[in-house]
Chains A and B, each alone.
Chain A
Amino acid sequence: MTIKVIGFARSTNTLRVISCLNELGIPYQLEPPADFAAIKKDDYLANKHPFGKIPVLYDGDYKISESRAICRYLVSKYQGKYNNTILIPHDVHEAGLVDQFIFYESFYYEPVVAKIIIHEIVLKTPESEIAKRALKDLDKVLGVYDKLLEGKEYLNGEFSLADLFHYPCAHFIYSSHADLWDKRPNVKKWLNRLRNRDAWKASLEKKNKL
């Protein structure tokens, strides 16, 4: 039975999971809810996600939510089954470092980029104080990342789940703030590698079709 993902192809969290499925070559079906209101209804809260969020993944009878947990599940179960792509290395020390970089994404990067996305794209208030402060914070974070990426193509040397997690959010705000990313040579090259991956391009096609 094919894996089913409930989510919106244009949402950063769903794109994170779609990218992971594409990277690992796993077949799946995307089932978008009717609209955002549908995921706050009692039925959805009781049966799919108690916090009313997407994505949710079904693998047969098994259900799991939270995009990063879903991706880890996919890696644990399917890495190496459909292709040779490694998203979490087998070596415990390398895997530990990938995990560390995943937390950098969760704590230092995503909250800041999410604020910019919400204010610029969702609320359409790019001049708000929150958006402006978030841009300054992002500038500092990317300064750290530029040093982290010195002498490396990816955060942990080789492409991993940590790099994958960063790209969906970047995609949405890159074009309106290209200078912020591109003024840092290592960050610029890194983003370029991420956006040129076949799996990402396939994920984008999904987003643009739906």
Chain B
Amino acid sequence: MAIKLIGFAQSPTTRRVVLVLNELGIPYELESVTEIQTIKTEEFITKKHPFGKVPVLCDGDHVVNESRAICRYLVSKYQKDSKTVLYPDDVHKASLVEQYISYELSYFDPPLSKVLYQEIYAKRRGEPTDEAVVKQSLEELSKTLDIYEKILKDKDYLNGEYSLADLFHLPCAHIVYNATGHSDIFDSRPRVKNWLDKLRERDAYKKTYAE
């Protein structure tokens, strides 16, 4: 039975999982959600995600949600069948990948999500953009990227070799490049730019974003 992924096809969280599915060459079906009400019903909340969120992955009878947890599950179960290594076997290297995953969660995603919400999702909902939040979030993101610029010294990827930690950053970074006027926040920093360029050259990225 093919893996089924339930999500909004173009959302960064769904694409995070699709990137891993494509990196590891895992066949899957995407069940596209078109109406937000679908994921707020009693049935969805009871059986799929208690907070009414997507993506949700169904692997046979096994249901797991939260994009980063899904990605880790896919790596744990299927990486051995693939030539691509997203998560090293060595415990010391793997734990540094976890550290960089935590950086993404703690220092990169929060300010970036605020910018994307104000500039894209708020508009879709007919809410006004709060420019003060955008400004403050961009400042916070700039400080994070200054630190990333140092982390990436002499390295193409956060932990030296490409890993899940790099991949996790890509979906929101993609939106910045393609749907906002803020690509300079990445491109003005040569190592950050080099890093993101490399991520966007990967076949899995091109396949994910062609769909």
Total interface residues in chain B, CB < 8 Å: 30
Size bin of chain A's contact surface: 20 to 34
Q: Give the A-B pair count, Cβ closer than 8 A.
A: 82
A64 lies within 8 A of B96 (CB): yes
B69 lies within 8 A of A66 (CB): no
Name A's B-contacting residues (CB within 8 A).
50-51, 62, 64-70, 72-73, 76-77, 92-93, 95-97, 99-100, 102-104, 106-108, 144, 147-148
B98 lies within 8 A of A66 (CB): yes
| CA–CA, A72 and B91, complex, Å | 10
Residues of A within 8 A of B105 (CB): 106
Does B107 belong to the interface (CB within 8 Å)?
A: yes
| CA–CA, A97 and B73, complex, Å | 9
Name B's A-contacting residues (CB within 8 A).
50-51, 62, 64-66, 68-70, 72-73, 76-77, 91-92, 94-96, 98-99, 101-103, 105-107, 144, 147, 150-151
B69 lies within 8 A of A100 (CB): yes
10 closest A-B pairs by CB: A66-B102, A96-B73, A73-B95, A103-B66, A69-B98, A99-B69, A69-B99, A100-B69, A76-B91, A50-B147
A77 lies within 8 A of B64 (CB): no
Cross-interface CB contact of A69 among B51, B66, B70, B101, cutoff 8 Å: B101
B50 lies within 8 A of A147 (CB): yes
A51 lies within 8 A of B103 (CB): yes
Give min CB distance, A81 to chain B, whole Å. Answer: 12
Cross-interface CB contact of B95 among A64, A106, A144, cutoff 8 Å: A64
B98 lies within 8 A of A62 (CB): no
Q: Tell me whether A68 and B66 are in contact in the complex, defined as CB-CB below 8 angstroms, given that A50-B151, A73-B91, A92-B73 are known contacts.
A: no
B77 lies within 8 A of A66 (CB): no
Q: Tell me whether A76 and B94 are in contact in the complex, defined as CB-CB below 8 angstroms, given that A69-B101, A96-B62 are known contacts.
A: yes
| CA–CA, A70 and B148, complex, Å | 20
Cross-interface CB contact of A92 among B70, B77, B95, B101, cutoff 8 Å: B77
Give min CB distance, A106 to chain B, whole Å. Answer: 6
Residues of B within 8 A of A76 (CB): 91, 94-95
B95 lies within 8 A of A69 (CB): yes
A144 lies within 8 A of B51 (CB): yes
Residues of A within 8 A of B72 (CB): 96, 99
